[in-house]
Amino acid sequence: MALRIIFMGTPEFSVPTLDALAEAGHEIVAVYTQPPRPGGRRGLDLQKSPVHQAAEKLCIPVFTPINFKNPAERAAFRAIGADVAVVVAYGLLLPEEVLGGTRLGAYNGHASLLPRWRGAAPIQRAIMAGDRESGMMVMKMDKGLDTGAVALTRKVEIAHDMTAGELHDRLSRIGADAMVEAMARLEAGDLSFTPQASEGVLYAAKIDKGETRISFARDAHDVHNHVRGLAPFPGAWFEVEINGRPERVKVLGSTLAEGEGRPGEVLDEHLTVACGKGAVRLTRLQRAGGKPLATTEFLRGTPIPRGVVLA
Q: Which residue positions form the known binding site? A: 112-115
User: What are the two backbone dihedrals, phi and then psi, of residue 205, each rounded to the nearest 5 degrees?
Assistant: -65, 150
> Which residues line the annotated binding site for (6S)-5,6,7,8-tetrahydrofolate?
112-115
For residues 278-310, one letter each, b for 16 or more C-beta atoms within 10 angstroms of the residue's C-beta and e for the rest, the string is bbbbbbbbbbeeeebbebeebbeebebeeeebb
Which residues are CB-contacts of 220 (< 8 A; sequence separation ≥ 6)?
256, 257, 275, 276, 277, 278, 279, 280
274: burial class by Cβ within 10 Å (0-12, 13-18, 19+)?
A: buried
d(CA 310, CA 262): 10
Helix (H) or strand (E) holding 279: strand 279-287
User: What are the two backbone dihedrals, phi and then psi, of residue 219, each rounded to the nearest 5 degrees?
Assistant: -60, 145
d(CA 120, CA 216): 27
Contact 98, 77 (CB under 8 A): yes
